[in-house]
Amino acid sequence: RGRTAEEIIGLLQEGVNRVNPQLPQTVIANENLALEHIYANPSPGALYTIMCDVVAGALDKIQELKDREEGR
């Protein structure tokens, strides 16, 4: 609360870099594009973090991607 998206991203990256600076990181600021990217490019063992203002919208997008994957 009270932090900008950029500040939160910076804190997350700082934490990851402290633990393993060689770990690849990708930042996609647009929630829908980020979810599309995750579904199109899954990586075993990866940790995906989605920050969204409207949780219901993100859940709807995830359901849309799941339905598309299942051919609905």
Q: Is the pLDDT of residue 1 over 80?
A: no
pLDDT for position 22: 96
Alpha-helix runs per DSSP H in 20-72: 31-40, 55-69
**Whether residue 72 has pLDDT greater than 90:** no
User: Using an 8 Å Cβ cutoff, are 52 and 31 in contact?
Assistant: yes
Residue type, 18: R
Number of domains in the chain: 1
pTM comes to: 0.78
The residue range of the domain holding 47 is 5-69
